[in-house]
């Protein structure tokens, strides 16, 4: 698979990464561990060399899964994880308290190193901006971890442009991870000009619109109570019905290219900028192979323009996050 560089610091990753969260958290009940480890192996064998997890996914279960599943590929893959929440398994994995105090960041790093079975964390993101801790202190704490050889690269997730600049002045930011897809294009206006200016890579999560752009979700889909989409306004039955028009646009375009809607959604991201690396997740081998097929689809500048013009005519209904989570992004 083609490789791409995230940031001026030279972090080389596969053009398409793998978001591991849904294997054990957030998108329904945790899947069978042996099956998920086999899928991680299959991803590596097919050229994926960039994997994303976080301590709070579970909490801890997803890091443990990734650590065990990728142990045999030590030094051959890049693993990103995240700090910034009070991760407590006893509370059922609720995300209800931020904590980016420097001493906590260092504690999380030590614990993540053990769970991931690595000598250094390749990419360490602040999961959400904590307004109670100056971002300069956060960047400073990660800078110390980098100096100690425990972390290689610093990242931010869902941060705003001003925060990115302030952090970058203390410790160069290698990558920003935020939601970005044909279903959510706000980053084009809010952060991408800053990323390009500073030479920071962009890692879009939910590049398939939390599954919506695959065309496999409609107004009749039922979400498990443990599936985060069950509380997302954009995924209410009424809004799914209204937003189906966007899927129709992507499906029509896919038919012209003899591809699937998911492949077109990913190919669009790959065509946008050479420093964009999407991290779609899946729990199924056939979906992994479908997603990887996107790397073989060439979209011209005219294709990108036509797809954007057509999709922009669809008014997307519903917020992308419930109120609590919405308040934590773009800060």
**Confidence band, pLDDT 50/70/90 cuts, at residue 182:** very high
Does 240 fall in a domain? no
Q: Is residue 126 within 8 Å of residue 100, measured between CB atoms?
A: yes
CA distances from 257 to 21, 91, 296, 307, 324 (A): 30, 47, 11, 12, 40
* Contact by Cβ (8 Å): 79, 121: yes
- The answer to whether the beta carbons of residues 265 and 207 sit under 8 Å apart is yes
- pLDDT for 94 equals 65
User: Does residue 200 belong to any structural domain of this protein?
Assistant: yes
pTM of the model: 0.97
Mean pLDDT for the stretch of residues 195-207: 98
Residue 128 is assigned to a structural domain of this protein? yes
Domain count within the chain: 1
Residue 246 maps to a domain:
no
The predicted structure's pLDDT at residue 292: 98
Tens of pLDDT, residues 12-43: 999 999 999 999 999 999 999 999 999 999 99
Listed in sequence order, the residues at least 6 apart from 104 whose beta carbon sits closer than 8 Å to its beta carbon are 83
Q: Is residue 261 part of a domain?
A: no
Per-residue pLDDT at 93: 60
At 95, is the pLDDT very low, low, confident or very high (cuts 50, 70, 90)?
Answer: confident
Domain hosting residue 194, numbered range: 3-208+272-296
- Report the DSSP beta bridge partners of residue 244: none
**Coil, helix or strand for 13?**
strand
The pLDDT mean for the chain works out to 97
Radius of gyration, CA atoms only, the chain? 19
Task: Classify residue 155: in a domain, yes or no.
Answer: yes
**Residue 255, helix vs strand vs coil:** helix
CB contact at 8 A, 177 and 205:
yes
pLDDT tens track for 75-91: 999 999 999 999 887 77
Burial 252-264 (b: 16+ CB within 10 A, else e): ebbeeeebbbbbb
- 90 is a domain residue: yes
The tokens for 261 are 């809607």
Dist CA 80 CA 247 (whole Å): 30
Q: Is 57 designated active site? A: yes
Q: What percent of the chain has pLDDT over 90?
A: 96
* Assigned domain for 307 exists: no
Q: Domain with 45 in it: what CATH number?
A: 3.20.20.100
Predicted pLDDT at 91? 73
Query: How far is it, in rounded angstroms, from Cα 222 to Cα 301?
Result: 37
Identify the active-site residue in 57, 73, 180, 321: 57
What's the token pair of residue 259? 């591809």
Q: Is pLDDT of 285 > 90?
A: yes
Which band of pLDDT confidence, cut at 50, 70 and 90, is reported for residue 92?
Answer: low
DSSP 25-49: SSBSSPPPHHHHHHHHHHHHHTT--
Helix (H, G, I), strand (E, B) or coil at 154: strand
Average pLDDT for residues 145-153, to the nearest whole number? 98
Contacts of 72 (CB under 8 A, 6+ apart): 41
């Amino acid at each position: 698979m083609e490789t791409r560089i995230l940031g001026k610091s030279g972090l080389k990753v596969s053009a398409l990464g793998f978001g591991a969260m849904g294997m054990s958290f957030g998108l329904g009940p945790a899947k069978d561990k042996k099956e998920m480890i086999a899928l991680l192996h299959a991803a590596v064998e097919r050229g994926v060399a960039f994997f994303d997890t976080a301590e709070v996914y579970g909490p801890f279960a997803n890091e443990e899964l990734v650590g065990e599943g990728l142990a045999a590929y030590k030094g051959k893959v890049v693993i990103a994880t995240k700090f910034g929440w009070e991760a407590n398994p006893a509370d059922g994995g609720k995300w209800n308290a931020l904590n980016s105090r420097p001493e906590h960041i260092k504690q999380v790093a030590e614990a993540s190193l053990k769970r991931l079975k690595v000598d250094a964390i390749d990419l360490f993101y602040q999961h959400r901006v904590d307004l109670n801790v100056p971002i300069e202190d956060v960047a400073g704490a990660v800078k110390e971890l980098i100096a100690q050889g425990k972390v290689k690269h610093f990242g931010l997730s869902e941060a705003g442009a001003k925060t990115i600049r302030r952090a970058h002045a203390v410790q160069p930011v290698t990558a920003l991870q935020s939601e970005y897809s044909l279903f959510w294009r706000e980053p084009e206006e809010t952060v991408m000009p800053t990323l390009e200016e500073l030479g920071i890579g962009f890692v879009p999560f939910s590049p398939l619109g939390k599954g919506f752009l695959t065309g496999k979700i409609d107004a009749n889909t039922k979400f498990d109570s443990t599936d985060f989409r069950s509380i997302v306004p954009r995924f209410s039955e009424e809004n799914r019905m209204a937003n189906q028009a966007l899927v129709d646009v992507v499906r029509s375009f896919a038919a012209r290219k003899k591809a699937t809607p998911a492949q077109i959604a990913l190919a669009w991201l790959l065509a946008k900028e050479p420093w964009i690396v999407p991290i779609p997740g899946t729990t199924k081998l056939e979906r992994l192979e479908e997603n990887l097929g996107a790397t073989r689809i060439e979209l011209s500048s005219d294709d990108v323009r036509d797809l954007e013009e057509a999709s922009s005519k669809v008014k997307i209904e519903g917020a992308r996050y419930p109120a609590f989570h919405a308040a934590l992004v773009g800060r």
